[in-house]
């Protein structure tokens, strides 16, 4: 149940946001999606929703990049250039057309816009542990970048075993497990305990009552990060689920922004100037 004595709860319920708890979203997308009716299909519409819900910064990979790769990198970069105080992009590694030299050159040339990498093994039916990805992981390790993975229990492409194979070889980049290995969160907890560079992301987790408390009870409160797959799911639902979990406001702040901010600073990501003094 929602704790109505919580100052965070009061702020979000009365104003829709908290002035001293700026939400950071580490799992967002952008633009329209093939054969889907996206109600927030422009950056401006997403920005409006971010404003209403107190989301200070979102890291995204467009649907175009997810399904088409390199030809769409520039479009994602240009959105960040239009909204440098609100957005950063994940450079999506399009596994069917890997070209590490080309892609890493793009990331290096656009450091102000590219905040990390994105992998989605299930989309391409190519395991995230496939050797064709090693050069990207080496690059991410060298910069300690955040790397967002779609992860799902039972998948032969981005399930716990494929994640373990990546984590065994790469220890410096932040492995963000999107969906936290949905349908078997115990795998996510076990892997996070074993590998300190693994972070659990909350898209499709928060609909499961008690799972967030389970992550915290397992001692992982510093490695849980907020995301909702925006614009597919609601910021208000995600924040509300965290407010209704049996947690302290101190832990809620970690999940809503502090953990994400720490991993971005660790990677020396170019953050908006207004976020320089956030603690």
Q: Measuring CA to CA, how many Å separate 48 from each of 54, 231, 234, 254?
A: 10, 12, 13, 24
Ranges of each domain in the chain: 7-275
CB 124 within 8 A of CB 154: no
Which position has the token pair 């992998």? 119
CATH class of domain segment(s) 7-275:
alpha beta
pTM of this structure: 0.94
Cα 22 to Cα 257: distance, rounded to the nearest angstrom: 6
pLDDT tens over the chain, length 279 residues: 677 789 899 999 899 899 899 999 999 998 766 666 666 678 888 888 899 899 999 999 998 989 999 999 999 999 999 999 999 999 999 999 999 999 999 999 999 999 999 999 999 999 999 999 999 999 999 999 999 999 998 899 999 999 999 999 999 999 999 999 987 778 999 999 999 999 999 998 887 788 899 999 999 999 999 999 988 788 999 999 999 999 999 999 999 999 999 999 999 998 988 887 788
- What sign for the dihedral angle of Cα 43, 49, 52, 54? negative
The CA distance from 112 to 136, in Å, is 18
């Amino acid at each position: 149940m929602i704790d109505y004595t919580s100052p965070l709860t009061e702020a979000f319920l009365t104003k829709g946001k908290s002035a001293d708890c700026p939400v950071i979203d580490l799992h967002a997308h952008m633009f329209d999606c093939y054969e889907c009716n996206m109600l927030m299909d422009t950056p401006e519409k997403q920005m409006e929703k971010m404003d209403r819900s107190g989301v200070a910064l979102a890291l995204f990979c467009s649907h175009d990049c997810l399904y088409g790769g390199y030809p769409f990198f520039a479009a994602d970069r240009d959105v960040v250039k239009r909204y440098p105080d609100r957005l950063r992009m994940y450079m999506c590694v399009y596994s069917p057309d890997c070209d590490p030299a080309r892609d890493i050159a793009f990331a290096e040339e656009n450091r102000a816009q590219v905040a990390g990498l994105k992998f989605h093994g299930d989309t391409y039916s190519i395991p995230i542990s496939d050797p064709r990805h090693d050069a990207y992981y080496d690059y991410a390790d060298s910069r300690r970048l955040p790397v967002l993975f779609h992860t799902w229990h039972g998948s032969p492409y981005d399930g716990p075993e494929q994640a373990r194979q990546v984590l065994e070889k790469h220890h410096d980049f932040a492995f963000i497990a999107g969906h936290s290995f949905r349908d078997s969160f115990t795998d996510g907890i076990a892997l996070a305990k074993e590998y300190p560079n693994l972070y659990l992301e909350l898209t499709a987790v928060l609909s499961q009552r008690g799972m967030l408390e389970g992550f915290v009870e397992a001692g992982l409160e510093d490695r849980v990060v907020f995301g909702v797959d925006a614009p597919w799911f609601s910021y208000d639902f995600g924040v509300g689920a965290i407010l209704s979990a049996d947690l302290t406001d101190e832990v809620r702040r970690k999940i809503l922004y502090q953990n994400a901010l720490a991993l971005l600073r660790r990677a020396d990501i170019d953050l908006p100037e207004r976020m320089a003094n956030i603690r």
